[in-house]
Structure formats: structure tokens, C-alpha cells
Amino acid sequence: MRSIYGLAWHNLNAHRVRSLLSVLAVILGVSVTIAGSIIIESVREGVLKSDELRVLMEGLISMLDPAMLFIGIAVMMAGGFLIFNTFGMAITQRRQQIGGLRALGMTQGQVMRVILAEAALLAVIGVVLGVVLSGVLGQVMVAFIKQIAGEMLAFGDAAPTLPVVVFAAVMGLTITLFSVLIPARRAARVAPLDALRKPEAAGVEGISRWKTALGALLLTALLAYVIAAPPGEWVTYPLDFTLTLLFIGLWLAGVGLVLPALISLAARLGKRLMPGTIGRLVTDNVQRARGRTSLTVFTLAFALLVLIGLTGFLKFFLLYGIGSSMKPAEEQNALFITRVDILNGWGATIALDLDSILLTEEELQAILDTVESSAYTVSSYFVVVPEISFLGDAYFSYMLDPTLARNTQSMFTFTEGDWDFALPIMEAGCGVLVVPAVAARHNAGLGDTISVTGRDGPLECTIAGIGSGVAGASIISDTVRDQITDMNPALVLVVPYADTDPVTFQAALDALVTTYPTLHTVQITGFMVVLEDSLDIVNVSLNAMLLLATFAAAFGVVNTMMMSMDERRHEFGLLRAVGTTRTQMRNLIISEAALLGIVGGVVGFLAGIGVLVIIVMTYGLNSIGVSQNLWAAALASVQPAAVMGFVGVIVAPMIASLAAWLPARGILREKPVAAIPRLQ
């Protein structure tokens, strides 16, 4: 075993730049994952200053946990593509060496173990450095988010959670080892006679027409199906998530199948746009070794695809899912009165250093006295009941007086049942109004009983209605308040009567706030603006982290260009010998990389838009009881994502060109005659 790892370490030292690029890819994936945990924990420390705030905000903050983990996985997957490509190229280049070892008696199993040992060494080094550097990256990202968030968020000192660190380490090791399995199997199949064969530079390869046709058919059929007969109109939890993942996987497979043909098409277009010898060389060279070139382009496209998909999905889910549940209240000119200064952000509220964010008995009575003759009111208690939480175990639910909630006609929209059915159940005991996902999770329907966690033990509650609550939250009747919580309401929802004079009503509210300065009135329309602003902050923050995936893609460009130039040293020497200048050679190499970047950017943009359409049209919003025009929602979600996509199309060739600059410098330092003898 010691000799296996010794040989593996020797091989890594022999190709230090490639080894370094692979280690950097692992470092990126691990550090981004852990840095995401630092960001979330920093927000928790800054906002969740009390048990009351924890009940109100923990579920909302927890929504970011899977998003951050997803970003870490996406960056690590981009690194996995790089590692796969790196080892694939290395095996091709080392066929003589491996053939020689096989001729000396090394078995196929030993060859495979050497390759896996190389990957394990790279993974361990990358994981260790990633864990060490994640703290710095996390603090840099927190400082960046502070600048763009202002008072909207509050931050505290935080460290990553141990489960996330373990997850990041295991992910880095697993993806690295999995990425080299196919190259390792290829290496094991190298025959001893390959030691006698001279390695050849990759030439221009043909395209598999049947693969291209299959990919085009898959993409066309998938997109046509989700547009013509959107599964999101009928699919429910948990099939919605599974089907969406399946369709995304099929879409990515289709993109991978047609990618070589797209690169060839780009090369033909490039010949028309770049006439002359240099243009022909550029377009011919990008068609060499289609496998590694396609994977390099796919890595660039994947980074952009994830950025577009995540940006669009967040808008779709938060604005068309969570936001649309507030439409009934918005249409009724509703507002809520609370101690939380929502319009100015959580930072401003925390700075007030309130002894509690809950309404006092005096404040609650003053609110009711002020508006009782001109509006419906609902005192809203925020509770955490894991069994009826629609998102994880910590998302809040409302505890309300069901009669008052019915009067407002804005707290819950039924898809199954109605208030006539629900009200008697909720007045008689523990009744709950839940979203379809919660009912499906319990395999229960309207009128069925589920067990929930009470303060003194399990509590049997009846599902009185299924549909959509405000902000996706479930509702539990206040008849069991003593068994669930001992806290006061956090806000009072106020819905003015149709005949209420708005001027007089606003004057009464102003007088209330003057008398009780700790109170704030927030119109639902104003809250929706805050929600959109918060979404923008989240998008910018997540996109900033996702941009790190482009570094892994850039490392892939460096690796591909290094391999290509190493194979073409003889060619470069001849070009220099016949009078090609260093500037022309540099332009040739950088133009090749730029062309790869352009193809990667365009493919990533189109594939990302396709993924977003698939997500919206397949996932839908049935799991939270919201009915939407999915096609309109998809178009609206595409708009902000398309902006990021256009930026990516512009930036991708720049990143690729910069990535090619380093290997270009190395080859251009050599004299024309120096490159020719090496392959003789």
C-alpha cells in the first residue's frame, strides 16, 4: 500500500500544475459549502436574539440552508467535471508509462488503485485546505452582504456548524473519487503493448450523428411536453420534486449529447467571422479531442446554468408562491400592526433593543380599541409546530381565532373544504388548516386526525381545511393556545371595512403610533416591496457565491489549453519557424479559449433558460396550495434570470481568455527550434 501511494505522489509531482488545479477545485467546493454555513449562522446570531425572534424567523432563515448547500454542491460538481477531465487527459498522455508498468507486471487492479490513490491524495489536501480557508471566505462574504443589505439584515459572529463541515468534507472526497472512476477504469485497461506506441496529438474528430439526433430529440420532446401539458398543473407532493429532478437530469443529458455538434457549428461560423490562417487554425483546434473540449465547455455552461436556474426559481417560489398567498390581503388594503420595523429592516429593529417583539396586553387592547369600529382584526400568534410546518421543522405557523380569520377572508384560501366545514372543527378543539404538502406528508386528508407536538405532550388535531395560508404557513385554532404557547401575539392583521373612510382611518392609526412609539403599521403592499428587495439581496448574495463556480470552469480551461499546447508543441515550433510572431501565437491561443468561452456562455444561457422553464412548468405550486398561470409565471421568472444570463454570456469568454493567458505565456517563452526536437 505504501508503494501505491508513493507512486501516486510521484505522479502528482510530475504534473504539478494539473494537480494544483484539481486541488483548487476541491478547495472551492469545500470552502464555499462551509462559507455558506458561516453566512447563515451569522444571520442567525444577528437576528435571533430571543426565543420570540427564533419562533418568528428561524423557519425563514432556514429556507436559505438548502440554497447554500446547493451552491456548495454545484461548485463542487463543477470541480468534479474539471477533475474528471484532468484525469482523463492524464491517462491519455500517460498511456506509455502505464503500458510500461503493465509490462513489468503491474495488474489492472494495481493500476486502478494508483489512480484512485492520486485522487484520494488530491481530495484530502483539498478538503483540509478548504476547511481552513472557509473561515476567510465566509467572513469576506458576510462583509459583502452587509454592504448590499444595509439595515435589512443583522449579523453576528458565527462559526460553521459541525454537520456542514462533515458534509463538505465527505462531499469533497466522494465527488473527487467518483470523478476519477471512469478514467481509472480506462487506465486499468491499458495493454502492456501500449508502452511501445508513440503518443499522438489529438486530431479533428467526427461527430456522432445518432448521439446528436438523440440529444436534439430529447431536448425538443421534453420542452414541448412541459409547455403543452405542464405537469405542474396536476403533480403534487412528493412527486413534484422527484419529477422535476428527473426532467432536469434528462435536459442536462440532452445538452451533453448535442454539445459536440454545437461546438462544430460554432467552429464553422467562426471560420466565416475569422477569415485567414489564424481563424482556420482557431476553429480547427477547438474541434480536436472533442471529449475534453466538450467537457470544458459543459463546465462553463453548467456554472451559468445553475446561476440562471437558481435566480429564476427563487423569484418564482418566493413571489409567485409565498407572495401570491398575500394577494387577497393586499387587494383588501390590509395592513398589520407590530413592534417589528419591517420596512426599515431587521437591523433597525434589533438596534432598538426592545425587551420583546411581542405585543403587550396594553398595546393589543389599544390596537383593538382604535380599529374595532372600522376594520376586521385578527391577533396572530406565531408558533412552531413541526408536524404542520410546510418547510422543514422550524417554519412558523399561525395560531388564530378561526371566527376572526374567517371574517377577513384573507388568511387562508381553500383548495379542499371551506369555512363552513372548518369553523365547527376549529371552534370545538384542535383544528388545523394546512398546505397540501403537509397533508400528503401525513398521508391524511380533509377531516383526518394527525398528532402534533404540544407543550405537555402529543396533541390530536383534525385537518379542517387544505389550501394556501399567508406566506405558506399553516393555521392552528387558538382553542388550544395553552397547550401550544404562552407567548402574546406578534402582530394584528387589520382589514378595513369596505365603507371605512381611508383618511379618518389613517388618522386613527397615526394617533395610535404617536401614543405607542414602539408600534409600526405596515401595509401589505409595502411588505411586498420589502419582500422583493429582500429577494434581490438574496439573489445577489447567492449569485456572488455561484460565480465561484466559474473559477472551477476557468481552471478547466487552463487544463484543457495546457494539454492542447503540450500536444501541439511541434506544430507551434513550426509556426514560429515560418515567421509567426509571438503576438500572433498569443492571439491564436487566446482566441481558441475565447471561442470555447463564447460557446459555453451561449449554451449555458440557453440551457439555463430551459432548466428554469422546466422547473416552473413541472414543479408548479400545488404543494403549497397555490394555483398560478404557470406559463405567465415562467416568463416573469425568466426575465431577471435572463439578465444574469446575458452577463454570463459576456463574461464567460473573458474568463476563458484570461485562463488561457497563463499557459500561453509558457509556450511562447520557448524558441522556435526548442519545441521541434521533443517529439522527434
Contact 648, 604 (CB under 8 A): yes
Q: Which of 160, 177, 199 is the last residue of a domain?
A: 199
As a whole number, the mean pLDDT across the chain is 84
Give the range among 77-86, 88-97, 197-206 with minimum mean pLDDT. Answer: 197-206
Whether 349 shows a pLDDT value over 60: the answer reads: yes
User: Which pLDDT score is estimated for 194?
Assistant: 60
Q: Are residues 11 and 158 in the same domain?
A: yes
Q: Are residues 397 and 291 in the same domain?
A: no
Whether 196 shows a pLDDT value over 70: the answer reads: no
Q: How far apart are CA 411 and CA 400, in angstroms?
A: 10
Q: Are residues 212 and 190 in the same domain?
A: no
Q: Are residues 161 and 232 in the same domain?
A: no
Q: Are residues 193 and 228 in the same domain?
A: no
- Higher local confidence (pLDDT), 310 or 285: 310
pLDDT tens digits, one per residue of 608-644? 999 999 999 999 888 888 888 888 888 888 887 888 7
Q: How far apart are CA 385 and CA 405, in angstroms?
A: 19
Q: What residues does 457 pair with on adjacent strands? A: 454
pLDDT-derived band at 195 (thresholds 50, 70, 90) equals low
Q: Are residues 576 and 506 in the same domain?
A: no
Rank 99-103, 191-195, 247-251, 360-364 by mean pLDDT and report only the highest: 247-251
Q: How far apart are CA 383 and CA 481, in angstroms?
A: 10
Q: Are residues 578 and 452 in the same domain?
A: no
| Length reported for the chain | 680
Q: Report residue 452 as a C-alpha cell.
A: 402534533
Residue recorded with cell 508509462: 97
| Contacts of residue 428, Cβ cutoff 8 Å, sequence gap at least 6 | 479
Residue 236: inside a domain: yes
Q: In the chain, what is the straight-line distance between the N-terminal and C-terminal CA atoms, in Å? A: 37
Give the range among 4-13, 75-84, 517-526 with minimum mean pLDDT. Answer: 4-13
Q: How far apart are CA 247 and CA 85, in angstroms?
A: 25
Q: Report residue 460 as a C-alpha cell.
A: 390530536
User: Which pLDDT score is estimated for 51?
Assistant: 65
Residue 248: inside a domain: yes
Residue 333: inside a domain: no
Q: Domain limits at 109?
A: 1-199
Whether 331 shows a pLDDT value over 70: the answer reads: yes
> Mean pLDDT over residues 117-130, rounded?
93
In the chain, the amino acid numbered 350 is I
User: Which pLDDT score is estimated for 680?
Assistant: 42
- Higher local confidence (pLDDT), 626 or 200: 626
pLDDT tens digits, one per residue of 572-601? 777 777 777 777 777 788 888 888 888 888
pLDDT tens digits, one per residue of 406-452? 988 888 999 999 999 999 999 999 999 999 999 999 999 999 999 99
Q: Which of 469, 501, 518 is the last residue of a domain?
A: 518
Q: Are residues 460 and 584 in the same domain?
A: no
Q: Is 56 exposed, middle or buried (0-12, 13-18, 19+ CB in 10 A)?
A: buried
Count of structural domains, the chain: 3
Whether 225 shows a pLDDT value over 90: the answer reads: yes
Residue 531: inside a domain: no
Q: Are residues 150 and 213 in the same domain?
A: no
| Contacts of residue 600, Cβ cutoff 8 Å, sequence gap at least 6 | 296, 297, 298, 299, 300, 301, 304, 553, 652, 656
pTM of this structure: 0.84
Residue 160: inside a domain: yes
Q: How far apart are CA 276 and CA 266, in angstroms?
A: 16
Q: What residues does 496 pair with on adjacent strands? A: 375
pLDDT tens digits, one per residue of 376-414? 999 988 888 999 988 778 888 999 999 988 988 888 999
User: Which pLDDT score is estimated for 203?
Assistant: 47
Q: How far apart are CA 347 and CA 359, in angstroms?
A: 19
Q: Are residues 494 and 365 in the same domain?
A: yes
Percent of the chain with pLDDT strictly greater than 90: 30
Residue 550: inside a domain: yes
pLDDT tens digits, one per residue of 291-324? 778 888 888 888 888 888 888 888 888 878 877 7
pLDDT tens digits, one per residue of 522-542? 888 888 777 777 777 777 777
Q: Shortest CA distance to 370 belongs to which of 246, 532, 509, 234?
A: 509
Residue 539: inside a domain: no
Q: How far apart are CA 195 and CA 201, in angstroms?
A: 16
Q: Are residues 56 and 169 in the same domain?
A: yes
User: Which pLDDT score is estimated for 286?
Assistant: 73
Contact 148, 39 (CB under 8 A): no
Q: Shortest CA distance to 491 belongs to which of 473, 507, 503?
A: 473
Q: How far apart are CA 65 and CA 81, in angstroms?
A: 25
Q: Are residues 488 and 371 in the same domain?
A: yes
> Mean pLDDT over residues 138-161, rounded?
82
Residue 134: inside a domain: yes
Q: Is 455 exposed, middle or buried (0-12, 13-18, 19+ CB in 10 A)?
A: exposed
User: Which pLDDT score is estimated for 527?
Assistant: 80
Residue recorded with cell 382589514: 495
Q: Which of 482, 503, 518 is the last residue of a domain?
A: 518
